[in-house]
Amino acid sequence: MGTTTMGVKLDEATRDRIKSAAQRIDRTPHWLIKQAIFNYLERLESGSDIPRNSSTDCRQPK
């Protein structure tokens, strides 16, 4: 299976949070972001409700 690159625009504070969290578990920010995406998709595909962010709801209207 091939891979492709996707871009995500984040504010600097969120970027810093990702970097800090990744450092705490001795992983790269890239690894942490991929794991978050995989976990989110698993929850959605298993029929769970859309996980909500406690600070903002980033869903786009349909």
> What residues does each domain of the chain span?
12-45
Instruction: Give the residue from 33, 38, 40 showing the smallest Cα distance to 18.
Output: 33
Tokens of 11: 């504010």
Fold of 12-45: Arc Repressor Mutant (1.10.1220)
Structure confidence at residue 16 (pLDDT): 98
CB 45 within 8 A of CB 38: no
Phi and psi at residue 9, to the nearest 5°: -90, 125
Residues 19-49: tens digit of each pLDDT: 999 999 999 999 999 999 999 999 999 988 7
End-to-end Cα, the chain, rounded Å: 30
Is the whole-model pTM more than 0.75? Answer: no
